[in-house]
Amino acid sequence: MRKIFGLAMMLTSSLTVFSATAAGTPKELNLGILGGQNATQQIGDNQCVKQFLDKELGVETRLRNASDYSGVIQGLLGGKVDLVLSMSPSAFASVYLKDPNAVDIVGIAVDDKDLSRGYHSVVVVKADSPYKKLEDLKGKSFGFADPDSTSGFLVPNQIFKQKFGGNNDNKYNNFFSSVTFSGGHEQDILGVLNGQFDGAVAWTSMVGDYNTGYTAGAFTRLIRMDHPNLMQQIRIIWQSPLIPNGPILVSNKLPADFKQKVITAVMKLDKDQHECFTKAMGGTQHIGPASLNDYQHIIDMKRELTQGNR
């Protein structure tokens, strides 16, 4: 009987050790990539990140490229996404409002050039159009990016409501002839170029050389793709106040020890493979310290918008 009991204890102990090991080191890491941009380019831009994390963590890193911002939000809430390097502040607010304990903030993207910690929503039109200011778009077609985008909807939406009244459902008291969500910033810009929209929003750092698309933003991505003369084809007619750069997020559903290894690996990626990091971020940026306070204004704005839609 003692032998049976002892064997049972040994088996139980072995299973406990096995379970702890399995729980401590997942077989894969799911890197979430926000949708709304060229999927092929985004996956390509993150291949070096995958290779780095595979080697550092000893697990398979899977790139989870969502078709829209909501896909990453639901992925973080449901445990299907473990890490996001470039998260929309508004999308983070959506996660936080549904589950304040779902993720930890690893840091914030900081511009390498001037150390700024923010970016701007801008309205762009075709360079050869007659529109010089926002008011000139009265009665014209307008494009937003994604409902969970900060610069692509949340911030300009609030400002447009204050400026024109109404909301996006009634085209801001019919100031615009139409209001459409294109799905992303790049789609907005391309929509302006091809005549789908008279004006549309995009994001940019507004730091550095205009002709190169500034240091970070949707312009730089399109220029790198196949629009080298983009900045000569468009004109910026409005810009928002500074918006905090997106947070780098890690899921709290990861085992604590492994989560810390992920954080350490991301910091090492920024320091040791900075060119790879900036490629994935879509601009010349590095990681700076951040806390919930950096995004409280965005969270409050998102809460107000959500409650207003009920």
Q: Tell me if the pTM is above 0.85.
A: yes
What average pLDDT is seen over the chain?
91
Q: Is the pLDDT of residue 8 over 70?
A: no
| Residue bearing the bigger pLDDT, 108 or 14 | 108
- Confidence class for position 39, pLDDT limits 50, 70, 90: confident
Model confidence pLDDT, tens digit, residues 20-33: 344 568 999 999 99
Going from N- to C-terminal start, the domains of the chain cover 26-111+246-308, 118-243
**93/243 Cα distance (integer angstroms):** 13
26-111+246-308 maps to which CATH number? 3.40.190.10
Is residue 133 within 8 Å of 102, Cβ to Cβ? no
pLDDT given at position 191: 98
- Percent of the residues in the chain that have a pLDDT greater than 70, as a whole number: 90
Model confidence pLDDT, tens digit, residues 285-296: 999 999 999 999
Model confidence pLDDT, tens digit, residues 208-228: 999 999 999 999 989 988 899
Residue indicated by tokens 């928002």? 240
* Topology adopted by domain 118-243: D-Maltodextrin-Binding Protein; domain 2 (3.40.190)
| Residue bearing the bigger pLDDT, 224 or 164 | 164
Q: Is the pLDDT of residue 180 over 90?
A: yes
Model confidence pLDDT, tens digit, residues 246-291: 999 999 999 999 999 999 999 999 999 999 999 999 899 999 999 9
Choose among 38, 103, 277: nearest CA to 89. 103
pLDDT given at position 60: 98
Model confidence pLDDT, tens digit, residues 67-122: 889 999 999 999 999 999 999 999 999 999 999 999 999 999 999 999 999 999 99
Equal CATH topology for 26-111+246-308 and 118-243: yes
Average pLDDT over residues 11-19: 37
Across 94-108, b (16+ Cβ under 10 Å) vs e yields bbbeeeeebbebbbb
Is residue 36 within 8 Å of 145, Cβ to Cβ? yes
- Confidence class for position 14, pLDDT limits 50, 70, 90: very low
Choose among 297, 243, 273: nearest CA to 108. 243
